[in-house]
Amino acid sequence: MIPSRDKVATHQAQLPVEEPASGRITQQQLESYLWGAAVLLRGTIDAGDYKQFIFPLLFYKRLCDVHDEETAIALAESGGDTDFAAFPENHRFQIPTEAHWRVIRGVAKDVGSALQVALRTIETANPEQLYGIFGDAQWTNRDRLSDPLLRDLIEHFSSLDLTIANLPEDELGNGYEYLIKKFADDSGHTAAEFYTNRTVVHLMTELLEPQPGESIYDPTCGSGGMLLSAVARLRSQGLEWRNVRLYGQERNLMTSSIARMNCFLHGIENFRIVRGDTLSSPLFVEGDRLRQFDVVLANPPYSIKQWDKAAFAADPWGRNFLGTPPQGRADYAFLQHILTSLDPVTGRCAILFPHGVLFRQEEAAMRRRLIEADLVECVIGLGPNLFYNSPMEACVVICRTAKSEERRGKILFINAVDEVTRERAQSFLTDEHIERIAGAYRAFRDEAGFAAVATNTDCLERGGSLSIPLYVNGVTVNSGENGGSDESDDLAGALEAWLDGSRDLHVTLRGLLEEQRL
């Protein structure tokens, strides 16, 4: 799509409506415009449901405005030849005349029904790219969306021309990400379903350093933020990003649709995001095995109980090579899915997990096998409140299928619990935090009170525990270096015993709380 000034479409003559504001849209204008649409829904729609109505309308408006823009360019190039301007080759997406935004803007009654027909018409006209992208919102439910409310929403979105000339793709993409975060802030506990703290995502991307031409996968992709972060990093470095291949799977229909819209609005075309349950029905397969990727970024749902343990025990894709996780915790099922999805030469992953995966006794045997396979490269402990709307501390586990020679048989532990900033009840990582953590990862050496390198043997001798306090802050001494004293050995043993007891208590209490919530 070539940036150009938009040719504003003529509205139906009988409607006394104002033309949308034309000209360059600032980020502040865009954010106010986007959040203004959500404000119109307040009191009528639950905050957690805003996204299923606002995102499709935004995407619909953008499609139609860019289609008009492309028409204006084609008319200019052809000297006003309308037949030429209508050729499909002149448009990224096909917008049938009867489904155009300006037609729906002129509807006075049964607006929801007309809108739903228009959205399905556009999906049908672009089956390979847009089929199902507008989700399953109930536009015809008048108890939630009355005609006056829908007309107000449509008029609000009509106030700006969302052409590429007015709003380039990277800037609209930033606005879209802003809206995703605002919805997460406003929707409470449902936020984690489609939003991961973006500063943590940036850290994970920085650690894996995706390269041009690589394949990048997120098995629980939510709104697509992790996949887009990889592209954003390449763009910021001035590297080729258009040949990167993005793949994502998401169980929730609306969230998977949001991820697809997110990619399109960021100007990305080389992606495939599918809807489905990754554990029960992985959709990226090649023959009799899972498809393998260069990079995997993931924040799997935490310790879910509603999953099919019995099916996983006899998994046809071989994802249970470490063992079958307990029914109450699917974390190691997702981990094994990710490891099975890594390219045997270039494969590397960064996974955001709760700290429990590092030391829970019920997963000890699987963890020992993981260490013996020499797949874990680094474990990073992050501070509290970085899981959205949760005080829980998070960790990032980095695995690599083919470690460099100097890192084989070793694991780096980084204690970055203090590398966090909290403002207005939200925690995040600053650029300085990210750079310090990434610098320690690249250096891969001991740093007093912050980082420590342990051998796989060290970890196995501790029962396969990857609990960071056992290795950082002088609690443990690297094998073969400085020997260690009786005093330090006693301290390590005492701390380990205390950790074992506190883990059991923590697991018990958490289980009780989870049962109470259910």
| Angle 420-200-203 from CA coordinates, rounded to 5° | 100
CA 501 to CA 518: how far, in whole Å?
A: 26
pLDDT value of residue 94: 96
Give the pair of three-digit tokens for residue 308: 């099919």
CATH number at residue 460: 3.40.50.150
Pairing of strands 410-416, 394-400: unpaired
Instruction: Report yes or no on 183 lying in a domain.
Output: no
Could you give the count of Cα atoms lying within 13 Å of 163 in the half-sphere of its Cβ?
A: 23
CA 37 to CA 114: how far, in whole Å?
A: 20
Asked if 156 and 278 sit in the same domain, the reply is no
Asked if 152 and 225 sit in the same domain, the reply is no
Q: How far is CA 488 from CA 115, 290, 445, 473, 492, in A?
A: 70, 46, 20, 11, 6
- Condensed to tens digits (0 to 9), the pLDDT of residues 424-456 reads 666 788 999 999 999 999 999 999 999 999 999
Instruction: Report yes or no on 123 lying in a domain.
Output: yes
Sign for the pseudo-dihedral over CA of 109, 110, 111, 117:
negative
Radius of gyration of the chain (CA): 25
CATH number at residue 113: 1.20.1260.30
Instruction: Report yes or no on 193 lying in a domain.
Output: yes
Instruction: Report yes or no on 17 lying in a domain.
Output: no
> Domain ends where: 107, 137, 167?
167
Asked if 46 and 89 sit in the same domain, the reply is yes
Q: Is 19 helix (H, G, I), strand (E, B) or coil?
A: coil
Sign for the pseudo-dihedral over CA of 328, 329, 334, 335:
negative
pLDDT value of residue 425: 61
Asked if 320 and 223 sit in the same domain, the reply is yes
Asked if 201 and 305 sit in the same domain, the reply is yes
Per cent of the chain over pLDDT 90 is 67
Asked if 137 and 200 sit in the same domain, the reply is no
Asked if 274 and 139 sit in the same domain, the reply is no
Asked if 512 and 458 sit in the same domain, the reply is yes
DSSP 9: P
Asked if 353 and 307 sit in the same domain, the reply is yes
Pairing of strands 295-298, 348-354: parallel
Q: Following DSSP, what letter does each residue of 447-470 receive, concatenated?
A: BTTTEEEEEHHHHHHTTT---GGG
> Domain ends where: 114, 133, 167?
167
Q: How far is CA 161 from CA 30, 91, 342, 450, in A?
A: 11, 18, 43, 50
| Angle 493-479-494 from CA coordinates, rounded to 5° | 5
pLDDT value of residue 187: 54
> Domain ends where: 101, 134, 167?
167
Asked if 113 and 201 sit in the same domain, the reply is no
Range of the domain at 112: 27-167
pLDDT value of residue 482: 33
Number of domains the chain contains: 2
Instruction: Report yes or no on 394 lying in a domain.
Output: yes
Instruction: Report yes or no on 182 lying in a domain.
Output: no
Pairing of strands 451-455, 410-416: antiparallel
Asked if 227 and 89 sit in the same domain, the reply is no
- State pTM to two decimals: 0.83
Sign for the pseudo-dihedral over CA of 307, 311, 317, 318:
positive
Instruction: Report yes or no on 424 lying in a domain.
Output: yes
* 207 Cβ contact partners less than 8 Å away, ≥ 6 residues apart: 350, 378, 396, 398, 437, 438, 441
Q: One digit per residue, pLDDT tens: the chain, 518 residues?
A: 323 323 333 332 333 344 565 689 998 999 999 999 989 988 888 877 888 899 999 999 999 999 999 999 999 999 999 999 999 999 999 999 999 999 999 999 999 999 999 999 999 999 999 999 999 899 999 988 999 999 999 999 999 999 999 999 888 888 888 887 777 666 554 445 556 788 899 999 999 999 999 999 999 998 899 999 999 999 999 999 999 999 999 998 988 999 999 999 898 989 999 999 999 999 999 999 999 999 999 999 887 888 999 999 999 999 999 999 999 999 999 999 999 999 999 999 999 998 999 999 999 999 999 999 999 999 999 988 777 656 778 899 999 999 999 999 999 999 999 888 877 666 788 999 999 999 999 999 999 999 999 999 999 999 999 999 999 974 333 333 333 333 333 344 444 444 544 544 454 455 445 434 44
Instruction: Report yes or no on 14 lying in a domain.
Output: no
Asked if 325 and 378 sit in the same domain, the reply is yes
